[in-house]
Chains A and B, each alone.
Chain A
Amino acid sequence: MSIWEYANPTKFMRVTGVALPWLWALTAVCLTVGLTWGFFFTPDDFRQGSTVKIIYLHVPSALMGINAWLMMLATSLIWLIRRHHVSALAAKAAAPVGATFTLIALATGALWGQPMWGTWWEWDPRLTSFLVLFLFYLGYMALWAAIEDPDTAADLTSVLCLVGSVFAVLSRYALVFWNQGLHQGASLSLDAEENVADVFWYPLLVCIAGFVLLFVALVFLRTRTEIRARRIKALETRARISAA
């Protein structure tokens, strides 16, 4: 029993088919509990008022915007090294999800920034690097869409993902140098004694769990769609050959 067994599309389809309903249920529970708790049962912040509650959407989606790219990096490497098709398709499936999370983080950040900082947008390193990350997602998806042969597309996008990761990190450090930040420091780290006050912290954890589950469920769903689309194409080709 090893993780490579799931590289077999049939096995992957069977396992995810069983797991998906449970994943959706867990996602729904986590998001409902986390968001309801966060929005209606936590006190307003002393200075920020009720705008603090946008943290329950902003922080998890920002987290997943970055983690989705990391997942694509891992699956791209697996594709380049071990040539498992499911891996390449999972990377393809994750890109639009990651881009959406990045966009949500940018939009919620702007909504929060308007009353708090007095501006929708500020050329702050964190904000700008997220915008650049979003552009990387766009380029990655455009490259997938532009190339017809699926294996060539998988290879080229994997190379782009690798190079893009290096440049995304590089941009991050360049931006810190370029402009001093307005964005507050990390509000989540595992080694800190207390990150944010506990009343906000526990519902936030539930929300993060919900977003992680949502991401996994969406990627499973989209990967299954890709596998099915690939199968349909294979069946159509076979039918055309036998008809000829």
Chain B
Amino acid sequence: MIALLARDLRLSIRAGGGFGLALAFFLIVVTLTPFAVGPNTATLSLIAPGILWLGALLACLLSLDRIFALDWEDGALDLVATSPLPLEGAAAIKAAAHWLTTGLPLTLAAPALGVLLNLPPQGFVWLALSLALGTPALSVIGTFGAALTVGVKRGGLLMSLIVLPLYVPTLIFGAEVARRGAEAQATATPLAALAAISLACVALLPFAAAAALRVNLR
């Protein structure tokens, strides 16, 4: 499992792996926001938590098709499936690798981008915390979506259509934590719900992803 994780991490960091693309996309979305809604700082600080969450979610979505597509094309996925490692474990590792190369950098970059959107000072901790708790769920849900559509040629749009509705609960609670944090309100309830969603997704969805992979590899 560790070997697979290390291999996925190396592949994504080295040339052509797309590491950093998600971060650059996140930066561009945040940069474009003031052009769309106007540079009024009061408006920006009002919508900053939501825009940052939405940007992180879309950046996460764009990198999903890399999880299985390349391994599917060159046959590495068949090798993984025939190895002694259970496919559920492989799916979980793939999701972990995606989170380490996408979710974690996004979480670390979000406070810096919060400065651009004039996020209120008390909001930074909550934004980072909500993203740290929420992005694992995004990665695991995305792994499930990628596993479903891995056999489809040019399945990117299809995967977005399938994955985005599944992101709704995570987005609601995550953005709610960030918004309440920015407005200095109590955040315990949405934070608990967000953590619950993340934990449940991490615990259950690798099984669904592995089931989908087995069907696709049949």
Contact = CB atoms under 8 A, between A and B. Distances in A.
B212 A156 contact: yes
Contacts of B190: 177
Given A155-B215, A162-B208, A163-B144, A174 B164 contact: no
A178 B215 contact: no
Contacts of B126: none
Contacts of B9: none
Given A152-B218, A177-B172, A178-B172, A160 B152 contact: no
B16 interface: no
Interface in B160-190: 161-162, 164-166, 168-169, 172-173, 176, 189-190
A164 B166 contact: yes
Interface stretch (A19-27, A82-90, A131-139, A189-197): A131-139
A163 B208 contact: yes
Interface in A134-168: 135-136, 138-139, 142-143, 146-147, 152, 155-156, 159-160, 162-164, 167
B129 interface: no
Nearest to A135: B165
Contacts of B216: 152, 156
Interface string B206-218: 0010011001101
B137 to A, nearest CB: 11
Classify chain B's interface size: 20 to 34
Given A163-B208, A167-B169, A139 B161 contact: yes
A170 B137 CA distance: 13
Interface string B132-167: 000000000000100011011001001001101110
A80 to B, nearest CB: 9
B152 A147 contact: yes
A159 B211 contact: yes
B205 interface: yes
Classify chain A's interface size: 20 to 34
A227 interface: no
B143 to A, nearest CB: 12
Contact of B165 (A156, A167, A174): A167
B58 interface: no
Contacts of B169: 167, 170-171, 173-174
A26 B208 CA distance: 41
Given A143-B158, A177-B193, A159 B148 contact: yes
B197 interface: yes
Given A139-B161, A146-B152, A170-B169, 17 more contacts: A136-B165, A142-B158, A142-B162, A143-B148, A143-B158, A143-B162, A146-B158, A156-B215, A160-B162, A164-B165, A167-B165, A167-B168, A167-B169, A174-B168, A174-B169, A174-B193, A177-B189
Interface of B: 144, 148-149, 151-152, 155, 158, 161-162, 164-166, 168-169, 172-173, 176, 189-190, 193, 197, 205, 208, 211-212, 215-216, 218
Closest 3 CB pairs of A and B: A174-B169, A139-B162, A155-B215
